[in-house]
Structure 1
Amino acid sequence: MSQASPELNGAGIAQTYPTSISSSRVIFAGQLRAIAFLCVVIVHWLGIYSLDHEFISKVTGASGNNIGNPSYYLSLVPPLPYFNYGPFGVSVFFLISGFVISYSLRKKSRSGYLKSRALRIYPTYIACSVIMMAVYASSHAYWGSEAQIGLSRFILNISLLGSLFNYESIDYVNWTLSIEIKFYLCCAIIYSALKNAALIKVIAMPFLFMAVTVITSHFQIGSSEQGHFSFDALKIELIYVSYMILGVLINFFYEKKITSGKFIASTIIVSLCIAASWRIGPQANQFIGTGVNYIYGYIFFFVAFLLNKHIKENRVISFLSEISYSFYALHSVIGYCIIRWMESMGFHYLYSLTVAFTSVLVISYIMYITIEKKSIKLSKKIN
């Protein structure tokens, strides 16, 4: 699975905005969306931008001169071992997806659920990808370099199938959306179990994924050639799908569908399945460095869950939460291009960051009111 930077592994985040939270009691999940996507912006625009100049040159088409200032990012990193805002933010998004999935299933048939999820994800993402590509092409034209994104790569990316066929992400964030799609498909398979909180059937899925990874760990199945199916990429994505099941279990516990004892036992079982799959799977080299951030993310999410009754709505955070999907889909490449261009014009890095954030915020809001909001409304009408 493609990653934006080897130094900041897992920085691309999956945007998990399956639906609006239907219960007004569940305030924390909506508020966490804004926090999670801001974590991703921090790691991309402050971390990767300042630390991986070769990557930024590749994305923007600009020369690899010294840019950014890594001290800003490093000053924001808490004193926790291996902490990385990228995988931390991603983990929170994935848990939100798992937590709210039961609300997405309510009053919908299996096919209706899948149709509503597709309508929720694809129109906004495709529109954002077109805008991103326009900025990407403009940036390369400005710097006099060749834009290197072919039609096959673009189509497979907007279909969110690129990672399975060894195509690099065009925006360096959609690998998480690809995982979201796999999660939705898995939820359709265990549709009845999710609706009825059939715990054994739900946790059987992470166990099955672990078994497949263990059995196939020494076999070369699939290909690493571009355009050919990658079994390794699928196994990696299924690890994260299993992680999202932890969010499902928290929801079962929140809705009092399972006892505290069953919640603890099932969480331990799923966690062990995730750990085993990760430790022997294709991303075994990230088991500690990236994996610990998923532990941080779970702790952060669970504490917010416990404090839900004390968390109040905040207009600014709620607004950021609403546009977070569009912002997430737009921000990476567009932000890099704007910041790099502004700095080349002699503007200070922090001023360039402010302009980039404001620009993407405005575009995201336009995307939200013209496409995303309408897609949400249509998806709710599907039964």
Structure 2
Amino acid sequence: MQQSGAKAKASPAKQGRVAALDGMRGIAALAVVGYHYLMHGPTMYPELGVPVHAALVGREGVRLFFIISGFVIALSLRGSTVSRFAVSRFIRLYPVYWLGLCGTFLVVALFGPPSMGVSWFDALANITMVQGFLGIPHVEGAYWTLGVELLFYITCAILWFGGALTPRRLPTTLYAWLGMTLVAVVVIPREQLEWSAVAQNLPWFMVGIVALAIYEGDRRPAVLLFPAAAIGTVALAQPKIAVFGALLFATVMLVLLWRPLGLTCRPLKFLGAISYPLYLLHQNIGYVLLLDLSSRGVYRPLAVLVTTTAMVALAALVTHVFDVPVRRALRRRLLAAPGRAASAETSAPEPGDDRRSGVLLAR
């Protein structure tokens, strides 16, 4: 996966295609919001109206997040160190997660129905981000994906720093990893939701790693055939999701190898930049607002529009007032080399920096 110096610098056109992944992330975030407000929410709270089954497709936004994460994490590991990668991931994931966690817990405790809330103990356990693996309820249902992502980051870092993701070893490593995942899909009972979710979703991250290899010119048959093998593994447990996932992967490769398809437009770049805070904040706070609007007799489409707009505005506020400034400050303090100027954040991206190739890591 490492490149020679001659190949490391991508052309502006290629950089634009990679930057288009941010636009895809923005679409994925809106898709998940739509699924929660139109399908999942009404299923949990009938007063929100009849579930819109067409919104089920919005769940595939999560799969798209996973594919993009596989691509970008594999890219961000290059030139990094174990400590630098770990610190950069902590900076990117945890501060805004803790803010979203506290905000969601308080809003639900003050204004939400009792069935939506969790105990103080459960909320404190959520600080770790691995509460699902401990059998502890999530403060927000959407948080289940964060533990899956975290486990992927750890596994990918171990493989990278252990030398298992070099170009020569990449196919062997990925097929072995996929084989273990296949065994896990078959063996782990579906009742063990978190571990079952890991087994069923890790192939999407692997597909993202392969997307990077193909994007950079790797045309070995073992690499080109891997996405089919990974999607086939998913199909054993989730046939319908595998079909949608195949379409998502094809779209990602179309963008990476051909053209951005309009995904670099300002609205989508904006949504991509705020997608992580939006993901963290939208579900239960949105449900509380939707329930309030419903109790006031507000027309359902208008209630969904108002709630979505409010959550986007809240995510943008959190991004610009808290997330970005805090990350900058922590990077200067924890990642800048001794004697480095405080303006390092505005200079060229350092190895392992989330801004590599124009992509802002959302997760």
Fold conserved between structures, TM > 0.5: yes
Is the contact between residue 253 and residue 259 of structure 1 (CA under 8 Å) also seen in structure 2?
Answer: yes
In the TM superposition, 1:340-355 aligns within 5 A as 340-355=291-306
Cα distance, 1:314–1:99 mapped onto 2, change above 3 Å:
same
Query: Residue 84 of structure 1 aligns to a residue in which SS?
Result: helix
Structure 1 portions without partners, runs of 5+: 1-21, 57-63, 78-82, 225-229
CA distance in 2, matches of 1:95, 1:265: 16
Q: Which residue in 1 is equivalent to 2:221?
A: 261
Matches within 5 A, 1:121-132: 121-132=93-104
Q: Distance in 2 between matches of 1:23 and 1:233?
A: 35
CA RMSD of aligned residues (A): 2.8
Distance in 2 of aligned mates of 1:115 and 1:300: 32
TM-fit CA distance, 1:370:
2.7
- What amino acid sits opposite 1:156 in the alignment? A
- In structure 1, the residue matched to 2:317 is 366
- Structure with bigger RCO (C-alpha 8 Å, 6+ apart): 2
* Counterpart-to-counterpart distance in 1, 2:169 and 2:268: 35
CA distance in 1, matches of 2:196, 2:158: 17
Equivalent positions of 1:99-248 (< 5 A) are: 99-140=71-112, 145=114, 148-191=117-160, 192-194=163-165, 196=167, 198-199=169-170, 200-214=172-186, 216=187, 233-248=194-209
Where in structure 2 are the equivalents of 1:325-344 lying within 5 Å?
325-344=276-295
Q: Which amino acid aligns with 2:209?
A: V
What percent identity do the matched residue pairs reach? 24
Q: 1:297 aligns with which of 236, 248, 251?
A: 248
Is the Cα–Cα contact under 8 Å of residues 160 and 178 in structure 1 kept in the other structure? yes
Structure 2, unaligned stretches of length 5 or more?
Answer: 1-13, 337-350, 352-363
Quick one: which amino acid aligns to residue 96 of structure 1? I
Matches of 1:88 and 1:212, distance apart in 2:
22
Calculate the TM-score normalised by the size of structure 2: 0.78
Partner Cα distance (1:202, 1:42) in 2? 33
Does structure 2 retain, via aligned residues, the 8 Å contact 1:193–1:202?
A: no
Is residue 45 of structure 1 aligned with residue 37 of structure 2? yes
- Could you say if the C-alpha distance between residues 293 and 166 of structure 1 is closer, same or farther in structure 2, counting changes exceeding 3 Å? farther
Q: Is the 8 A contact 1:116 1:379 kept in 2?
A: yes
- How many residues are aligned here? 318
Equivalent runs, 1:61-76 vs 2, <5 Å: 66-70=47-51, 73=52
Query: TM-score scaled by structure 1?
Result: 0.74
Q: Please say which of residues 182-191 and 146-155 is displaced more in the overlay.
A: 146-155
**Residue 57 (structure 2) aligned to one of 76, 80, 85:** 85
Q: Secondary structure at the match of 1:319?
A: helix
Deviation by residue 1:112-149 (Cα, 9 ceiling, x = unmatched): 21221121111111101111112101213xx6x57741
Deviations 1:174-204 (A, max 9, x none): 1111111011011111113336563122332
Q: Which has the higher helix share?
A: 2
Q: Alpha-carbon deviations, 1:204-248, whole Å to 9, x = none? A: 22222323555x45xx8xx97xxxxx5x63243133122210011
